[in-house]
């Protein structure tokens, strides 16, 4: 590896484009290979990111067989994640898969039963965890600024039917089931998309609480879903760990309900104004005193993610270093999302 992790990308959509742009000025990682079944996307990525034409593939399998590539970034539609995670393991590749890693728990169980899984890195693409504000939140909790954690609320809601652009998605004048985010067979819907973020944040905070086993969870019976055709476009649920810690989570494609997280303790609360994507994070601490922390981030979140994961692999780790997503969190998250979606 010579101190540099060599990356390949399969699936060249909008998110993959933002990811590929983020390799600039990273010393421990290099994008060397791409794969897409769409020729014009291959040409665009090849030219813009200076990829060797011999490493541009029209079949995903061909890229996986490239012995130069250390890790595969899977940026395919959600319904294809499981198949290509499994195949990547079979062909001895480390893996970063876009969220959600799986569209159901059955697929996750199949991958996690692979005998060679523990020989390779598997990460899930929640780049928000690499924002410096996350470490500041953890610091505030661990320094007991708000006392014992009691509950939390975390939401991810944007009206994708009217917004011009958000995370690479363009305005839809009407509900269009041909678009991935509105197509059930492709793993679309608010729960699997925005909801996966809220579950990830809930697992991160729950794992900080002494005595809480994140594997022991249940979802409230009152599972509210708004549907358009067969797609969930807004849903809220209460996630409960060990019958003690509660997280109220909401995901929406319909309403601009915000991106905030509120963590409630015995002696106060921590409020994150933009949990998922911000340059400068704003954290409000409300206890006996009120204080605003502004946490600057000078790199793209994808750059931070690529850099940290590459460093993990160079150090022979098979899962993300803290606060990245651990393997057991990927499995638990898939189970939670499955129950939320189908409960």
Structural domain includes residue 305: no
Query: Residue 9: beta bridge partners?
Result: 34, 73
Looking at the fold, whether 31 and 98 belong to one and the same domain comes out as: yes
Kindly report, residue by residue over 63-112, the tens digit of the pLDDT: 999 999 999 999 999 999 999 999 999 999 999 999 999 999 999 999 99
Looking at the fold, whether 148 and 75 belong to one and the same domain comes out as: no
Kindly report, residue by residue over 248-281, the tens digit of the pLDDT: 999 999 898 999 999 999 999 999 999 998 788 9
Structural domain includes residue 92: yes
pLDDT of residue 121: 98
Looking at the fold, whether 149 and 282 belong to one and the same domain comes out as: yes
Q: Provide the domain count of the chain.
A: 2
Among 80, 103, 125, the domain-final residue is 125
Kindly report, residue by residue over 24-47, the tens digit of the pLDDT: 989 999 999 999 999 999 999 999
Average pLDDT over residues 125-147: 96
Give the pTM. 0.94
Please list, residue by residue across 221-238, b when 16 or more beta carbons sit within 10 angstroms of its beta carbon and e when fewer do: eebebeeeeebbbbbbbb
For residue 128, give the nearest of 274, 1, 252 by alpha carbon: 274
Q: Is 262 within 8 Å of 153 (Cβ atoms)?
A: yes
Looking at the fold, whether 175 and 40 belong to one and the same domain comes out as: no
pLDDT for residue 216 is more than 60: yes
pLDDT of residue 303: 96
Average pLDDT over residues 168-189: 74
Looking at the fold, whether 158 and 25 belong to one and the same domain comes out as: no
Looking at the fold, whether 162 and 293 belong to one and the same domain comes out as: yes
pLDDT of residue 298: 86
d(CA 4, CA 54): 20
Q: How far from each other are the two terminal CA atoms of the chain, in whole angstroms?
A: 45
Q: Which domain holds residue 167?
A: 129-300+322-342
Looking at the fold, whether 120 and 134 belong to one and the same domain comes out as: no
Please list, residue by residue across 295-326, b when 16 or more beta carbons sit within 10 angstroms of its beta carbon and e when fewer do: bebebbbbbbbbbbbbebbbeeeebbeebbbb
Looking at the fold, whether 191 and 222 belong to one and the same domain comes out as: yes
């Amino acid at each position: 590896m010579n101190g540099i992790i060599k990356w390949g990308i399969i699936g060249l959509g909008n998110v993959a484009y933002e990811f590929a742009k983020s390799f600039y000025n990273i010393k421990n990682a290099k994008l060397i290979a791409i794969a897409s079944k769409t020729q014009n996307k291959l040409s665009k990525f090849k030219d813009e990111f200076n990829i060797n034409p011999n490493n541009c593939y029209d079949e995903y399998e061909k890229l996986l067989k490239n012995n130069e590539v250390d890790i595969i970034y899977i940026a395919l539609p959600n319904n294809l994640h499981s198949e290509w995670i499994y195949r990547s393991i079979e062909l001895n590749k480390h893996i970063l898969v876009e969220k959600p890693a799986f569209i159901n728990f059955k697929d996750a169980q199949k991958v996690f039963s692979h005998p060679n899984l523990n020989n390779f890195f598997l990460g899930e693409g929640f780049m928000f965890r690499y924002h410096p504000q996350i470490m500041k939140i953890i610091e505030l909790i661990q320094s007991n600024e708000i006392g014992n954690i009691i509950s939390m609320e975390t939401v991810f809601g944007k009206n994708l039917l009217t917004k011009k652009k958000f995370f690479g998605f363009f305005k839809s004048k009407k509900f269009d089931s041909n678009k991935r985010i509105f197509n059930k067979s492709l793993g679309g819907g608010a729960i699997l998309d925005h909801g996966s973020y809220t579950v990830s944040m809930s697992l991160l905070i729950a794992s900080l609480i002494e005595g809480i086993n994140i594997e022991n969870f249940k979802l409230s019976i009152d599972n509210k879903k708004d549907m358009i055709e067969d797609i969930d476009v807004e849903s809220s649920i209460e996630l409960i760990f060990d019958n003690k810690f509660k997280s109220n989570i909401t995901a929406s494609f319909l309403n601009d309900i915000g991106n905030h997280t509120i963590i409630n303790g015995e002696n106060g609360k921590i409020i994150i104004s933009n949990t998922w994507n911000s340059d400068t994070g704003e954290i409000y601490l409300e206890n006996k005193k009120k204080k605003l922390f502004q946490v600057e981030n000078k790199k793209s979140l994808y750059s931070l993610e690529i850099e940290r994961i590459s460093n993990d692999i160079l150090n022979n780790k098979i899962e993300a270093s803290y606060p990245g997503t651990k393997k057991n969190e990927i499995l638990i998250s898939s189970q939670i999302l499955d129950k939320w979606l189908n409960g």
